[in-house]
Structure 1
């Protein structure tokens, strides 16, 4: 049981926030998101599925082994965190060894790959770009980007994460870090986009891996998604609500999504896009480039 006293007059947004806090407290989210600090989940570092050795594949069909499955321990979270108190980008001066890295996460089907393609089409003629895709047991996203000629093959790499795609961007990001550094050595890009494998609202990039974090949700999931929270929504540098053209078809209210996103993110930046139709992509690019320039200054 818990008690609190309320004084004064609340508007609808404040009441929604209070409802979220009460619901989260009652369900234990604000106490602990996991009852176990030893929730293990094994994943293959990448490449062909194997129980005897780890492999990961590069563009053009190349692959190499790391030997053995890799286990990780899920981090216990006391809360989904907040935008204002989120981890800030790490100060570093080694961009020639590891290019400015943009992490793009979000649930399956939210439009991450379409966003990466649109950003590549927009920026590739004026900025040095490379891409690392993450999939569970395939190279589907890498193949999609290759078919659509997002970038030359050598500038795109594929990582197969196995069953826990969130681990490859947070608890053990070594595979993605290795790919970013290798692409930086070979092509000297200004920035590298890492597209995570599709995951849930709790997935978010480690600041050791991503200098700028984008989280993509879509309208098709319903207008309740922003207020569900989760680290991806609350702590990303930029939240994208994609597929706004589907709002009427699925009965989603974009104004509700805007209100709830502003509430959950403490008015942190949120953009509404249609990645397939290049709507809002310039605004996304402007946010990325602003952060990139700040990192270099």
Structure 2
């Protein structure tokens, strides 16, 4: 696993991250964004950056196995200044770097905080993974899991920790439902059954306000953090 150089810190982190920095100041809220390959994680991160960049100080860490493709895409799209986007090459299954050995991601987050302080929000995008992918609470304060309609309307029914336990589930690409034979009502009912009281949103990032439900949720997370309320 490496950032731009080798990192060898095999300790497994399982405890919640300290909300304060070593100097006693409050650190940025960290939100992890995970989901299967092609579900729209990078598009979701890009849309969040475009919407929030004028009102918040934010940065992004992307994860890919052997490349920095997602970070390069975000830089090409100019969603944030390039110094606010950094990449981790995991060199292994994506969930390893966000749940089991989070050292490289923590290093990336801490470097951003030191260089850009004060930051309000850091988005940590996982590489594409399966329905079991979750973030260590030592890395992310909250986690978003993105699935998409084009993968089949049975995806919510299949469950898995990503779907059932993420702080927010995003069902993306609803505009494709007529073309892939997906029943959105079925997906909504299955999602509600799997999630119970946990929040979920249906989105289409091709529409002008498609990211708004996710923006609203992120804004609520930030407000809760400022007031000391646990979501």
Q: TM-score normalized by structure 1?
A: 0.71
Distance in 2 between residues matched to 1:276 and 1:163, nearest whole Å: 32
Cα distance in 2 for residues equivalent to 1:104 and 1:278? 21
Whether 1:142 and 2:71 are equivalent positions in the alignment is yes
Match of 1:254 in 2: 184
Query: Deviation of residue 286 (structure 1)?
Result: 1.1
Residue 117 and residue 272 in structure 1: after superposition, are their counterparts in 2 closer, same or farther (change >3 A)?
A: same
Query: Who is 1:158 aligned against?
Result: 87
How many pairs are equivalent?
Answer: 223
Residue 72 of structure 1: how far off its partner (Å): 8.8
Other-structure match for 1:174 = 103
Alpha carbons 1:177, 1:209 under 8 Å: kept: yes
What 5-or-longer segments of structure 2 have no aligned partner?
none
1:239 counterpart residue number: 169
Q: Is the 8 A contact 2:15 2:138 kept in 1?
A: no
Aligned residue for 2:146? 216
Change in Cα spacing, 1:97 to 1:152, as seen in structure 2 (3 Å) is same
The C-alpha deviation readout for 1:170-220, integer Å capped at 9, x for no partner, is 011111111111111111210100000000000111111111110000001
Task: Determine which of 199, 204, 207 is the counterpart of 1:269.
Answer: 199
Does residue 211 of structure 2 align to residue 281 of structure 1? yes
Let me know the Cα RMSD of the aligned residues. 2.2
- 1:275 alignment partner, SS class: coil
Query: In the aligned structure 2, how far is the partner of 1:292 from the partner of 1:181?
Result: 19
Counterparts of 2:140 and 2:208 in 1: how far apart (Å)?
24
- Larger RCO, structure (CA 8 Å, separation 6 or more): 2
Q: Tell me which moved more, 187-196 or 265-274.
A: 265-274
Any conservation in 1 of the 2:10–2:101 contact (CA below 8 Å)? no
- In structure 1, the residue matched to 2:7 is 66
**CA distance in 2 between partners of 1:156 and 1:201 (Å):** 26
Task: Determine if contact 2:16/2:139 at 8 Å carries over to the other structure.
Answer: no
User: TM-score by structure 2 length?
Assistant: 0.90
Counterpart-to-counterpart distance in 1, 2:15 and 2:164: 13
Runs of 5+ in structure 1 lacking a partner?
1-44, 47-55, 58-63, 74-86
Q: How has the CA–CA distance of structure 1 residues 104 and 191 changed in structure 2, closer, same or farther, with 3 Å as cutoff? A: same
Paired with 1:252 and 1:150, the residues of 2 have a C-alpha distance of 31
Q: Distance in 1 between matches of 2:223 and 2:26?
A: 17
The 3 A distance-change label for structure 1 pair 88 and 228 is: farther
Q: Equivalences for 1:78-97 in 2 at 5 Å?
A: 92-94=19-21, 96=25
SS of the residue 1:149 aligns to? coil
Question: For residue 15 of structure 1, what is the aligned residue in structure 2?
Answer: none
Instruction: Sort the Cα spacing of 1:255 and 1:90 in 2 relative to 1 into closer, same or farther, 3 A.
Output: farther
Q: Based on CA coordinates, which of the two structures has the bigger radius of gyration?
A: 1
User: CA 1:270 to 1:245, structure 2 compared with 1: closer, same or farther past 3 Å?
Assistant: same
Q: What is the match of residue 26 of structure 1?
A: none
SS of the residue 1:168 aligns to: helix
In the aligned structure 2, how far is the partner of 1:71 from the partner of 1:296? 33
Aligned-partner SS, 1:185 = helix
